[in-house]
Structure formats: structure tokens, C-alpha cells
Amino acid sequence: MLAVLGLLTSFLFFLYVTAPSIRKFFAGGVCRTNMQLPGKVVVITGANTGIGKETARELARRGARVYIACRDVLKGESAASEIRADTKNSQVLVRKLDLSDTKSIRAFAEGFLTEEKQLHILINNAGVMLCPYSKTADGFETHLGVNHLGTGVTTYAVHPGIVQSELVRHSFLLCLLWRLFSRFLKTAREGAQTSLHCALAEGLEPLSGKYFSDCKRAWVSPRARNNKTAERLWNVSCELLGIQWE
């Protein structure tokens, strides 16, 4: 028994020591384009923390005017101040946006249109996971209301990988696991690479609507490619939101 415990302890120690190398091996793709963004306008939802914050930092570093759209304005201002200092780009702005409230979404959109003539890049980063059962201000279940109805239609869907972020904050078990295995997880900066790739890489227009992981196109199940299901989801979503398209 002692021998087994000794071997297990040695293995765990070895695993812990080599964790940075293992994590680096599995870190995934890297956005390699050098595209600069002076004069371009970017909106990133939920960019006050985690992947969104690192995405905002990189786009600001490339010269874009970046709008951090988030529910917690104070936290957003703190993130924006840090990014401005880091990138020397003063055009990092914070605007109130609560994806669980369609009134807030419409107010954000109306305010943005009074400030800007164009939007060049939109990154729908904000989302929730494993929330206790609750409803949005409009009466929708929270995950459906925020992640789907609140976010709307995206050009590309991306999977960042398993990342050290606040997304698991509603699950004590996952928070514990994330802490225990943090040395194996992607950093927020590494998790931001696929979003940056889809926003910046040239020649992706023909792949609009596709699914990406680790900066490359990824496999999607046949059900997710079903056009009839997609059309039905679109129609139901519009009906729930009271939207009519001509």
C-alpha cells in the first residue's frame, strides 16, 4: 500500500511540475495575422473580464476604438483603464449592456448609433453557464435569454477551449476543479486566440456561419447543420422577441 501511495504521489508531483509544458502543448491555435485596426470600431460584449478582456486588449493594441459592453460598468471601467494604460490607446470605452434585459439591449444599440456611423467588428463574448434556475427581465430562462436571445445571431461560432475564466462561478464543484487543475488550463489570452482569428484573418468570408476551434474550422454535428431546424429556431426566436423581418 505504501508503495502504491508513493508511486501515486510521485506521479502527481511529476504531473504538477510538468503542467506548464503540458498546457502549452494543448494551448491550441494562435492568431497570427498582423492586421492593424486604426479607424476601426469594435464592440465586445462581456469584455470586463476573462477572454473578452484579453480580446479587447489585443484589438486596442492594434489601434481600434473598442467598446466594452457589459452589465457591470464599474468593473468595465476598471478593465478599460487597465487596457488603456497597457496599450496606450485612449479609445477604449465602456457602455452599459445587460443581455438579460431586452430594454437594455435596445438602449445600448440606440446609444451606439448616436455615437458611431459604422461597426466593423462585433464579438459576442458574454455568456452564462450553470446558473441556478432564474428568469431574465423578459421572463425567459436565464441561459436561453442571455446566451441565445440576448446575444442574437453571430457570424462565426467559436470554441475557446477549457480556459481559466469566471464562467464556472455558479458551480462550486467546477470552481474547485478549475483551481486544482489551473496549471493545465488555457489562460484567458490563449482562449482569446480563436475569436481574434475569426475577427482579423483575411479570406474567411466564404466560411461565414461556420464553427471554429483553435483558430481553424471544426467539425459540427449533422443536427447543427440542419437548415430546417435552424429556420425553425430563427422563427421561434423572432416570435419570442416580438421581431418581424420583412
* Core vs surface per residue 60-95: b (16+ CB within 10 A) or e: bbbbbbbbbbbbeeeebbebbeebbeebebeebbbb
Whether 194 contacts 215, CB under 8 Å: yes
Looking at residue 160, its pLDDT comes to: 59
Looking at residue 163, its pLDDT comes to: 59
Looking at residue 12, its pLDDT comes to: 56
Looking at residue 224, its pLDDT comes to: 85
Looking at residue 226, its pLDDT comes to: 92
DSSP per-residue codes, the chain: -HHHHHHHHHHHHHHHHHHHHHHHHTS----------TT-EEEEETTTSHHHHHHHHHHHHTT-EEEEEES-HHHHHHHHHHHHHHH----EEEEE--TT-HHHHHHHHHHHHHH-S---EEE------SPPS-B-TTS-BHHIIIIIIIT---S-EEE--SB-SGGGTT-HHHHHHHHHTGGGSBPHHHHTHHHHHHHH-TT-GGGTT-EEETTEE----GGGG-HHHHHHHHHHHHHHHT----
Average pLDDT, the chain: 84
Looking at residue 31, its pLDDT comes to: 92
Q: Counting beta carbons within 10 angstroms of the beta carbon of residue 237, is it exposed (0 to 12), middle (13 to 18) or buried (19 or more)?
A: middle
Nearest Cα to Cα of residue 231 among 239, 242, 219, 220: 239
Residues 216 and 209: their CA atoms lie apart, in Å, by: 13
Q: What residue ranges of the chain have pLDDT lower than 50?
A: 154
